[in-house]
Chain A
Amino acid sequence: MSGMPGKKAKRIEERGLKGIRDTGLDEARLRAFLAHAWHTPKGLYGWLATVDHKLIGKRYVVTAFLFLILAGLSALAMRFQLAAPEAGRISPDFYNQLFTMHGTTMMFLFAVPVMEAFTVYLVPLMIGTRNVAFPRLNAFSYWIYVSGGTMIWIAFAFNTGADAGWFSYVPLAGPDYGIGKRPDFWAQMVTYTEVSALAVAVEIIATVFKLRAPGMTLDRIPLYVWSVLVTAFVILFAMPAVMVSSTMLILDRLVGTKFFDPAAGGDALLWQHLFWFFGHPEVYIIFIPATGFVSAILPTFVRRPVFGYLGIVLSLIAIGFLSFGLWVHHMFATGLPQLGESFFTASSMMIAIPSGIQIFCWIATIWGGRPIFATPLVFVLGFIFTFVIGGMTGVMVASVPLDLQVHDTYFVVAHFHYVLVGGAVFPLLGAVYYWFPKVTGRMLSERLGHWNFWFVFLGFNLTFFPMHILGLQGMPRRIYTYPLESGWGSANLFISLSSLVLFAGFALLFLNMLLSLRNGRPAGDNPWGASTLEWATTSPPPSYNFPHLPVVTHREPLWARPDTLPVIEGLRVDAREVLGGTVADAVPQLRLPSADNSIWPLLSAIAVGGTFFASIYTPWAVVWGAIPISIGFICWFWPKGEPEDEE
C-alpha cells in the first residue's frame, strides 16, 4: 500500500511525456522519435526478435531463393541421369527422392513462400502504412516456414527424403507401401509450412482491409495489392484441405487410422480429391501474385496506367473463384462419371477467359504506351510469350479424351513448367529487377540483366518445349530411365544440355545481385519514375516506412502529384502506432498500437516445430508438446504496457 502513491505519481508523470504526436514536430525530431520507436535492436537478439515486415520479407526472399537453388540442383541431377537412355548414374531409389524433393521444394518451399515474401515486404509500403496488421504473427510464420523446410532437407540428407512424389498419393505413401519415415517427414513438413502460409494470408487480408492510407478507396488499390488480396483468400480456403489430408495421412501411418485404406472401408481417391482441391488452387496461389507483378511493372515502363483496371480486378476475383472448380482435371484418368467430366472440362476451359482478359489488357496497355526496354519489362514480355503457350496447353489438358493420352507424361511436365516458370518465375525475376533498388538502395546491372534474361528465356524454352513432343511420343513422367529403342535419347540429351543454359541464366541472376549489392549504382527514391506509394519513401525505406503517412487522392498517386504527397498527421511518434481505416473507403477510424519486437514468436515456432518433429516418432509428442507451445503463446500474447488512452 505504501508504495502506491509514489508509483502512481510516476505513472502520471510518464503520461505527460507520452502521447507525443507528429503534429507540428520539426522534421529532424520527428524522424528521431520514429526511428527510436520502430527501432530493431542491433545484434543477434534484434535479428531474432524483430517484427519489422521489411526485415522479415527480405529474410523470406533469401530463404526462398536458397530453396530454389536446392530444388534446381535436384532437377539438374535428374537431367544428368536422363541425358542418356539406360544410364546408371543415379539409382532409382535416389532418383525417386530427387524428383519428390524437387517438386515439394519448388511448390511448398520456393514458389508460394517467395510470393508471400514479396507480399510481406511490399504491401505495407504500397498501401502507405508502417507495418503489417499482426507483426508477431508475421515473424512466427517465417520461423515456421524456415524450420519446416530445413527439417525435410535434413531428412533428405539422411536418406529419409520424401520419395512418393510431391503429391504423395496413397496407398504408395500410406502405411503399407511408404518407405521408412520418408512420407512422415513429407506429411509433417507440409502441414507445418502451410501453417505459415495461412498466417500470412490472415495477415494480408487484415492489413489490406484495415491499414490502407486514408483515401485509398477500393478502386485506388494498386493492382498488385489486389492480386495478393485475392491470393490470400484462395490460401484461406485451399490450404486447410491439404493440412487436413496430410494430417489424415500421418494418422494412417502413425496411429493406424484407415482413412485411405480401401480394405478397411477407406478410400484411396479421397486423398486425391483433398490433395487436388488444394493442389490446383496452389498453382493460382503462385500465379495470381505474379500477374500482380506484371500489372505493377508494365505501367512504369510503358509510361501509362494499366488499361482496364476494373476488368483486371474482376478477372483476378474470377480466377480466384474458378480455381476451386478445376481440381478434378488432375484426376481424369481415374475414371469419373461422364457428366462430372464435362463439368470439369467446361470449368477448366472457362478459366482461360479471365486469364485471357488480363493478357489482352496488358497488351492494350503496351499498345497505348511508349515502352522502355528495361530488364523488368523484358521479363514481362518473356512472360507473355511463354505463358500463352502454357495457357494453350492448359486448354488441351482440360479436354478429357486428350488428357487421357497426355496425363502423367512429359507433355504435362512441359505444360506446368510453362505455367509455373513462364507464368510465375519470369514475372518474379522482373519483380526482382524492379524492386531491388527499393529494397537495397542500389540498381541491378541492366547489362547483366539482359544477359540474364536471354539465358533464362532461351534455356527455358529449349529445355521444356521438346518435352511436349516427348510426352506425345509416349514418354511417361517420373521414370528414372528409358530404353534405348524408345528413340527418346537425342531429345533428352538436348533437353539436358539446354537445362545447363537455364541454370547459367539463374547463376547470372545471383551474380548480378551479389555484384550490385556492393557496387550497384545508387538508386534514389524513385529510379523508374513509378507511380505507387512504395516509391514515395527512401530506398531502402526507414524502419517506420514513411515519416508522414500519405493521403491518397488518385490511383497513381506519384504521377498525379509528382511534387508532394498530401499527408495525414496525429499519430504518436514515441510508440509504435498505425492508422486503421474503414474497409471500403479507407476513412481513418482509429489509431492502433503495433506490436513491439519479441523473441516469443521464435520460441513458439521452436516449440511447435519440435512437437511436429517428435510426433513423427511418437504420438505422445502432441501431448507433451502442448506445454511448451502454451508457454510460448502465453508469453507472446501477454499484455504489457499501459492501456491506450481513449481519444
Chain B
Amino acid sequence: MSSGTDDVLQLVDLSGNLNEQRAAGLLDVTGQLVRGLYRDMVLGRRFDQEAYSLQRQGELGLWLMSLGQEAAQVGSIRALRADDRVFPSYREHVAALCRGVSPTELLSQWRGTSHGAWDPERYHFHIYSLVLATQTLHAVGYAMGVRYDRSDSVVFACFGDGASSQGDANEALNWAAVTSAPIVFFCQNNGWAISTPASKQYARPLRARAQGFGLDAVSVDGNDVLAVYAATRSMAERIRAGGAPGFIEAHTYRMSGHSTSDDPKRYRDNDELARWQANDPVERVRLLLKARDWADEDYFATVAADAEELAERTRQECRALPEPSLSDTFRTTLHEETVALRREREGYETFKESFL
C-alpha cells in the first residue's frame, strides 16, 4: 500500500490532510482545483457503477471496472494539456470521460456495436488497446512524429503492472529513452493482472526498471489525486522543455474484479480489500474539501445529482446504441475497397437482401 515515504509522492494523507510543505513548489492547491478533480472522480465512479449494472442486466457483453483508480486517471489527465496525446489501455474510462468522450462512445465497444467508437483526433485520446502494451509502442512512434513536427505537445502512454511484463512495454521504454521521445509512461499499478498479483510480474520496482532504461522515473500514491496531478504536470512540463522521457508509477488498487467475468474472491482476501477500501481515493478528497471548507453540502449534493444524471443518460443512450452493419466493416477494412472486397461485400448484401 502506498505511503508518504520519500519514495512515493503523497500530498494528501488518508485523513484528508494536505502536506503543504511537500505541495509547495509543486502546485498551487486551490479549492477550485480540488473541487474540479473531486467532481470528475465522482462522475467517473458513478459511470463505472452504471456500466457494471448494465452488464449485469445483459446490456453489455463485458465491462472492465475502474473502481478505485479514479484518482490516478483524473489526476493525470487533468494535468495534461488538451493537445497532449493520450494512448490508453482499456480501463481508462474515467480518463476518457475527462477528455470528453461520451458515455455512449465508451460503452459501444463493450456492448458489441463497435471496436472503438470515438474519434481519437477529436479528443486527443486514442481508442483502447486490448492486447497489452501494444499501445506503448504506438505512443512512442507518435512521439517521434511530435518531435519531427517540432511541437511541444507531450504523449502520454497508459499501461498496467501486468502489461509491464510484455515485450512491447520494454521495447517502448528502451526505444523512448534512446530517441529521447517526448513521452510520459503512466503505469497504473493496481496490484493485480486478473488473478496474478504484481509480485509475480516483477522482482524489482517498476520505477527502478524504467530508470535502468534511462527514463526519469517517479512513484506516486495513485490514490492521491493531487500527488498524481503534481507529478504528471511537472513531468510533462519538463519534457515540453526538452527533457528526457518520463515514467510515473501510480500505486493504486482495483477494488473490483478485472472484469465482469472474474470473481476476485477466488484470488484475493477480504483483508486486503478492506485495507484499500479505507484508502478510497474519492473519500480522501471529500475529507480534504471539508477540512479546508472548500465545499459545502450544496456542492456535494450538486455533484451527486450530476452523477445520477450521468448514470441516467448512460442507461438511456446505451440501450439506444445503433446496431452495427457488416457492410460498414467491409467498407472500412481498407482505405480504398479492392475489387475482391467489393465483390465479397456485394455478395453478402445480395444474399442478405434475398431474405427480405
Our verdict on whether A and B bind, yes or no, reads no
Residues on A lying within 8 angstroms of B by beta carbon are none
